[in-house]
Amino acid sequence: MPQYLCCHALHILCNRFHAGIGIGHPCTAIKIEFPEPAMFPAQWRSACCRDAPQHMRRPSMSELHGFGPLAGGGWVVDEALFRFLVDFEIQKAQRLRYSVSLVCFAAEPASAGNGELSLAERVTRYIRGTDAVTASAQGWLALLLVDAETTHLPLILERLATRLETDMWSAGGSCYPRTAARTEDMLGQALDLLSRAKEEGGNRLYVAS
C-alpha cells in the first residue's frame, strides 16, 4: 500500500498507478476516470493532477502564474511529486529499456534577467513536455530528463545555460540505469557533483560514471 502524502495530486497519481497493476487503495475518496492509453506522458500527468478537487489541490508554480506548461516545455512540481515522478519513470524504464537522467542545477541569473518568472519556470521553457523541474529550499533545481543518456547532458546543459543568460552556473548529473538504480542514489550523485562543480569554479557540469 502506498504511503499517504499530503499532496492530493500525488495521492491520485499513486492510486492510478497501483490500480493499473491490480493493487487497490482503500483510501480512494473520489471516482477515478483513467486517461486514454494513447495520451502522451505529459498529457497523462496533467489529467492525473487535475482530478483533485480545487479546494484540496496544491497549485503548481505555473498555475499560480496563470498558465500551464508552455508549448514544448516541461512541468514545475513540488519535491514530493518530483520524487514520485522519478520513481515512476524508473519503473517504466525497466520495462521499456530507456534511460532517465536527473540533473541538479544552480545558477546566478544575469542582472538583466526576467524578474517576473522564477528560475524553475524559466527552465521549463527549454525542456520537453515529458520533463519536470522542482526547486529545493536551498535554491538549486532538480531536473527530470526522460530518455536522456549521460552523453546527452553536456549539450542539454550548455544550451540551457546559454538561453537562461546566467552569470554563473553549476550542475551535477546522474542516470538510470548507467550510474544508479534508485531515485535517492541518483539524487545523491547529482547533488555531490553539483557541489564539486561549484567548488571548482562553476560554469561546468559533472556527470556520474
Which residue, among 47, 178, 49, 201, has the nearest Cα to 101 in the 3D structure?
178
Spell 162-178 as b/e; 16+ CB within 10 A means b: eebebeebbbbbbbbeb
Predicted confidence (pLDDT) at residue 6 exceeds the cutoff of 50: no
Please compute the mean of the pLDDT values over residues 163-169 and round it to a whole number.
Answer: 92
**Are the C-beta atoms of 48 and 35 separated by less than 8 Å?**
yes
pLDDT digit string (tens) for 43-99?
545 544 444 444 334 443 333 333 344 445 899 999 999 999 999 999 999 999 999
Confidence (pLDDT) at 167: 87
Confidence (pLDDT) at 55: 37
Please compute the mean of the pLDDT values over residues 144-161 and round it to a whole number.
Answer: 96
Predicted confidence (pLDDT) at residue 139 exceeds the cutoff of 60: yes
Q: Which residues contact 137 (CB under 8 A, 6 or more apart)?
A: none
Confidence (pLDDT) at 114: 55
109 pLDDT tier (thresholds 50, 70, 90): confident
pLDDT digit string (tens) for 177-202?
999 999 999 999 999 999 999 999 99
Chain centroid to CA 166 = 21
Domains and CATH numbers, the chain: 1-58 (no CATH), 70-207 (3.30.70.270)
Query: What pTM, to 2 d.p., does this model score?
Result: 0.68
110 pLDDT tier (thresholds 50, 70, 90): low
Please compute the mean of the pLDDT values over residues 35-43 and round it to a whole number.
Answer: 47
In the chain, what percentage of residues exceed pLDDT 90? Answer: 59
Q: What one-character-per-residue DSSP string does the chain give?
A: -PPP-S-HHHHHHHHHHHHHTT---TT--S---PPPTTS-HHHHHHHHHHTS-GGGPPPPHHHHTT--SPTT--EE--HHHHHHHHHHHHHHHHHHT--EEEEEEEEEE-TTS-TTS-HHHHHHTTS-TT-EEEE-TTS-EEEEEET--GGGHHHHHHHHHHHHTEEEEEEEEEEETTT-SSHHHHHHHHHHHHHHHHHTTSSEEEE--
Predicted confidence (pLDDT) at residue 146 exceeds the cutoff of 90: yes
Three-state SS across 84-139? Answer: HHHHHHHHHHHHHCCCEEEEEEEEEECCCCCCCCCHHHHHHCCCCCCCEEEECCCC
Backbone angles phi, psi at 42, to 5 degrees: -65, -40
115 pLDDT tier (thresholds 50, 70, 90): low
Dihedral Cα 205, 203, 167, 201, nearest 10 deg: 130
